[in-house]
Homo-oligomer: A and B are copies of this chain.
Amino acid sequence: MSNVHAILLLSCPDRKGLVAMLSNFIFQHNGNIVHADQYTSKRGKIFFMRIEWELQGFSLSREEIPEALAPLAAQFAMKWALHFTDYVPRIAVFVSKHLHCLHDLILRHRLGEFKAEIPLVISNHPDARESVEELGLKYFHFPITAQNKAGQERLEIQHLQEMKIDLIVLARYMQILTGKFLKAYPHKIINIHHSFLPAFAGGNPYQQAYDRGVKIIGATGHYVTENLDEGPIVAQDVIKISHRDTIADIQTKSKDLERIVLARALRLHLENKILVYGSKTIVFE
């Protein structure tokens, strides 16, 4: 248990003494704070905090922490989540036909960049089966039509639950998930959108960027919510283009960007650095 940290993410209405109270809570149980970050939204008067401390020497066991925290949480109307750094989340990747993000995730995973397991890939197309299985991952093919979508999603959720999946990454998955599906994984589905949202939301942003003659294109990693392309943004980045770039060139440049932005968003999620607040995120980088 040496080196394991606890991470507490919380939000509540702003009050005097919140930082003092929370840091005291940890200090009184002999914890050593290694990171603490806070933010108070001036508009909503909401207090957000991420506090990380060493479990080694901490006088409460993992199981006792929630109980000990409960009175404070109740008193200050806190929403909170507790994480431990030795937990290894299990990720399912959803793809359609563009596989650059999937391959990039697998490569980064192999190189040790993500503290997670990636046991399976789900796709509405059969194309990637061979290359995915060759890499030792499971591949489920769920063709989707307007008629079968509800049923297929039920089956998908069943598979995801059987395989104890914590987090879903849409790595250029070209199907809209239903509200029912989203409810099964609230703020646990990360999407990469191949444009700089909110510009060029919707279909074919490469073409839209080309037609509009923009000089910069972007990519956006965000949580998926019912409003398509309007989920809380986690990470964004951009790259310059010029009139010389064909749609194919724009696509090539964008794909590089999508890989980086998706990996960055995933890393932030896995490090428990994100609090979602309405349609926005607090990212404690």
* A200 on interface, CB distance cutoff 8 Å: yes
> Inside 8 A of A200's CB, which chain B residues have their CB?
198
- CB A14 to nearest CB in B, in angstroms, measures 8
A: number of interface residues (CB 8 Å):
65
> What per-residue 1/0 map shows which CB atoms of A222-242 lie under 8 Å from chain B?
000000000011111110001
> What per-residue 1/0 map shows which CB atoms of A194-216 lie under 8 Å from chain B?
00111110000000000111111
> What per-residue 1/0 map shows which CB atoms of A9-33 lie under 8 Å from chain B?
0000000111111011011101111
> Inside 8 A of A113's CB, which chain B residues have their CB?
252
* A38 on interface, CB distance cutoff 8 Å: yes
| Chain B residue, CB-CB nearest to A256 | B260
> Inside 8 A of A198's CB, which chain B residues have their CB?
199-200, 212, 214
The CA-CA distance from A215 to B235 in the complex, in Å, is 7
Report copies per complex.
4
> Inside 8 A of A283's CB, which chain B residues have their CB?
215, 242-243
| Chain B residue, CB-CB nearest to A37 | B37
Contact call B212/A279, Cβ cutoff below 8 A: yes
A-B contacts besides A20-B28, A197-B199, A216-B236, 7 pairs, CB < 8 Å: A19-B23, A36-B38, A113-B252, A212-B233, A213-B232, A215-B233, A238-B238
Q: List 28 A-B contacts (CB under 8 A).
A: A16-B27, A16-B30, A16-B32, A19-B23, A19-B36, A20-B27, A20-B28, A21-B27, A23-B23, A24-B24, A34-B40, A39-B243, A103-B107, A104-B107, A113-B252, A197-B212, A198-B199, A198-B212, A198-B214, A212-B280, A213-B281, A216-B237, A238-B238, A242-B283, A243-B280, A243-B281, A243-B282, A256-B263
Using a CB–CB cutoff of 8 Å, the interface residues on chain A facing chain B are 16-21, 23-24, 26-28, 30-40, 42, 99-100, 103-104, 107, 110-111, 113, 196-200, 211-216, 218, 232-238, 242-244, 246, 252, 255-256, 260, 263, 279-283, 285
